[in-house]
Amino acid sequence: MYLNLEVDNVGVSIFSNDRLIKEGDTVKCTSQIIDLPVCPGLLGHVVDALGNLIDSKGPIEATEHRHAP
């Protein structure tokens, strides 16, 4: 997600592994919106802001995904 867009630089938030990205790297816009899993199996689980499970209750099978608000 970009936070600011200027002629000579861009500020971004990275929502996955950032260890392989360094200053000066070329990046591309995917134009994708964050999708979050939605299903009854999600009830009772603890998830992060991206819908990733962060508890130890095991995986779920999401039957539907919706765009983040």
Stated as kind and residue range, the H or E segment containing 41 is: none
Model confidence over 10-65: pLDDT tens digits? Answer: 788 787 788 888 888 887 877 777 888 888 888 899 988 778 889 988 888 888 88
Q: Is the pLDDT of residue 68 over 80?
A: no
3-class DSSP state of 9: coil
The answer on pLDDT for 4 being more than 80 is: no
In sequence order, what are the beta bridge partners of 53?
Answer: 47
Name the E strands within 1-69. Answer: 2-5, 10-12, 35-38, 64-67
Comparing 20 with 68, the larger pLDDT belongs to 20
pLDDT score of 46: 92
